[in-house]
Amino acid sequence: MKPIRPASEPEPEPVAPEAAASAPEAEPVPAVEPEPEPEPEPVAAAPVEQPPAVDRNAGRRRLQAALWPPRLSRGQLVVALLLFSLGLGLAIQVRSTNDHHSQLRGARQEDLVRILDELDSRQQRLQQEKAELEQSLAKLENSSNQAKEAQEQTRKKVTELGVLAGTVKATGPGIVLTVDDPQGQVKADMLLDTLQELRAAGAEAIQINDVRVVVNTYFTDLSGGGVQIDGKKASQPYRFTVVGNPQDLTPALNIPGGVVRTLESHQARATITQQQKVVVDALVDPKTPQYAKPASK
């Protein structure tokens, strides 16, 4: 086996046989084992970049900065005030409706029946008025002497308007409401509420003491106590003489939370007397309007 030499050593020149024989044998050169290749050093992993920390309150701070301090234009302020007023009005309306419903919810069965009867009576009165108007229209259209019939209808209408205006006496079935107020707790607004309730129940002519109630009747409280009606001091007891259907007027005053209950809560006493014939004889002087004129169609 031919000995292995390192690659860096040059090849020995050939020796002549004579020289080889005379030359001592060369000692064998031990084979040089190749040095093992060094293992590659482990490469350190590059550090992983951490994502920046997320600020969870950044959005809230931006929203707060956008809303406060508020930057409102004049138009936005007006709209906000209108919406507030509308909401307040709706809230008041809902509350008053709920209060009315709560009163009816706590009413007795006979009171509820009385209220229903009153509503039925109002509907019947409206139906009767409609029928009378239709009958008058039919007479005018079918009468052979339309001019005479028109005059008769006009005279009848003038009388009806005179009753409403307080220039003509009125008589018929009705009630007399007497309000005794020994403690002086009855105020002008209570008398006005009583008048409005009577009108809503179908009263056609009303007189309080010696004052005829008309469309422009007003009530005022006196500083020393008492009430004025159309500028005249009304003495106690307050006496309402009313022409109308007694079966409609009496239940209207006695409904739960109505006029009688309100007066009693102020230490006043209300007495209702039904009569087949009452007379409203107080009159008012008609006044010529200063500004209003009849409007042509």
Average pLDDT value for residue range 194-198: 93
Q: Which run of H or of E encompasses 103?
A: helix 74-105
Is a pLDDT exceeding 80 seen at residue 12? Answer: no
Percentage of residues of the chain with pLDDT beyond 70: 66
Which residue spans within the chain are E strands per DSSP? 170-180, 205-208, 211-212, 219-221, 227-229, 232-234, 238-243, 269-280
| Res 67: pLDDT | 65
Each residue of 208-266: pLDDT tens digit? Answer: 999 999 988 999 999 888 899 999 999 889 999 999 999 999 999 998 888 999 999 99
pLDDT of 21 reads 45
Higher-confidence position of 70 and 201:
201
135-183 pLDDT, tens digit each: 777 776 676 566 676 777 778 888 888 888 888 999 999 999 999 998 8
Q: What is the percent of the chain with per-residue pLDDT over 90, rounded to a whole number?
A: 30
291 has a pLDDT exceeding 80: yes
| 20 band by pLDDT with thresholds 50, 70 and 90 | very low
Cα–Cα distance measured from residue 168 to residue 146, given in angstroms and rounded to the nearest whole number = 27
Residue 19 has pLDDT above 60, yes or no: no
Contact assessment for residue 230 and residue 237, using Cβ atoms and an 8 Å cutoff:
no
Task: Please tell me the predicted confidence (pLDDT) of residue 89.
Answer: 77
Q: Tell me the CA distances in angstroms from 4 to 7, 15, 71, one per residue in order.
A: 9, 19, 96
What would the mean pLDDT of 79-101 be, rounded to a whole number? 70
Closest by Cα among 257, 280, 255, 259 to 271? 259
pLDDT value at residue 155: 80
Backbone angles phi, psi at 233, to 5 degrees: -70, 130
Tens digit of each residue's pLDDT (9 = 90 or more) over 170-190:
999 999 999 999 888 999 999
Model pLDDT, residue 249: 93
| Mean pLDDT, the chain, integer | 77
Q: What is the pTM of this model?
A: 0.52
**Quick one: average pLDDT of 56-80?**
70
271-282 pLDDT, tens digit per residue, is: 999 999 999 999
The whole-angstrom separation of Cα 111 and Cα 107 is: 6
